[in-house]
Structure 1
Amino acid sequence: MEDLRMALKDHADLASELFDRFSAELRRGFAPAVDNFLGFFHAVDWKEPWLIGVITFHVVFLLITIISRRNMNFQLSLSVLALSGVCFAETINSILAKRWKSFAGQNYFDTHGLFISALWSGPLLFITAVILVNTLFILCGLIVKWKRAELKHRARASRGKKD
């Protein structure tokens, strides 16, 4: 019995040590990401009119998505529009990289497309995910309605056979 207690204690100590290492790695792992995000945030001049326009576009697009959440066909159109914007992000990035001096204070449009991904594609993908979740909720509701109607139909049919 004492051997079992020692084995359990050793196992608990090992698990605790592994958990401590894992949590330390997580804390250390998020620090560079937070530093990169803060560097990105501070490098951008958020008062530029075109950036305000892009952000306003995404907010309005999200509001339209939320307001029209009951209209599945319109939601489908919005998701196609959003995904088209993501598909054309590389082309948009290359066009804006050539013409950045006419509208921006600095060139945000690198060859890897990090800025356009973060400020254009990311919000559009988020809105598409919102549309997808909404669609799943609506479909679940339709399945419940259908199943209830089926059960009512079966109950009526079984009552009709008994009479």
Structure 2
Amino acid sequence: MTEHKPENISSIPIDGFSHLRITSIWTFLMSVQWSEPWLVGLLVFHAVCLFMTVLTCRFYRAQICHFLLVVGLVYSAEYLNELAARNWRFFSDFQYFDSKGMFISLVYSIPLLLNAVIIVMVWVYRTFSTMTELKTLQLKRKARREKREKND
């Protein structure tokens, strides 16, 4: 009677709550049941957030609101993790929400933070563009002034 030992022990539940032995982030993400409706909804949510990030690039005030919303959602991740850990049976087949918050950080916070980074990069690009335009205008004005003084 030999016991069959699985090849990949990093994704084998070690207790009734499906806590996983994590050896890498990739292994952890591969052990997630991505076909669960709430996870599909989360992926759609992140796609909509990315679309909104790209869409608001031309509208500064809308982008500020979007940025503040994204940062607020990241800030609330700890509370959301606690709430989901208490009520996971209502929406999920497995208990993904650990006390350290690794799952919610990987699938919820990191994509939102990437959106925030994109927004900050757009702001930095705009700032540099504005500074370049301003310096160009200053140099042109200085050149015209010097030309006028030279002609007078």
TM-score bracket, shorter-length normalisation? 0.7 to 0.9
Give the aligned length.
130
Is the counterpart of residue 62 in structure 1 residue 50 in structure 2?
A: yes
Q: Which amino acid aligns with 2:35?
A: K
The residue aligned with 1:142 is 130
Offset at residue 154 of structure 1 (A): 0.9
TM-score, normalising length: structure 1: 0.75
Structural mapping, 1:6-155, within 5 Å: 36-155=24-143
Residues 67-76 or 133-142, more deviating? 67-76
Tell me the secondary structure at the aligned position of residue 154 of structure 1.
Answer: helix
Gaps of 5+ in 1: 1-34
TM-score, normalising length: structure 2: 0.80
Q: Give per-residue Cα distances to partners, 1:110-137, cap 9 Å, x unaligned.
A: 1111111001111011111111111111
Gaps of 5+ in 2: 1-22
Offset at residue 67 of structure 1 (A): 2.1
Offset at residue 56 of structure 1 (A): 0.8
Q: Which amino acid aligns with 2:135?
A: K
Task: Tell me which stretches of 4 or more aligned residues in structure 1 moved more than 6 Å.
Answer: none
Q: Which amino acid aligns with 1:155?
A: A
Q: Which amino acid aligns with 2:133?
A: K
Tell me the secondary structure at the aligned position of residue 136 of structure 1.
Answer: helix
- CA distance in 1 between partners of 2:62 and 2:143 (Å): 37
Offset at residue 145 of structure 1 (A): 0.7
* Higher-Rg member (1/2): 1
The share of aligned pairs that are identical, in percent, is 33
The residue aligned with 1:29 is none
Q: Give per-residue Cα distances to partners, 1:73-95, cap 9 Å, x unaligned.
A: 22222211111111110000011
Tell me the secondary structure at the aligned position of residue 57 of structure 2.
Answer: coil
Tell me the secondary structure at the aligned position of residue 123 of structure 1.
Answer: helix
Offset at residue 41 of structure 1 (A): 2.1
- CA distance in 2 between partners of 1:42 and 1:130 (Å): 26
More helix by share: 1
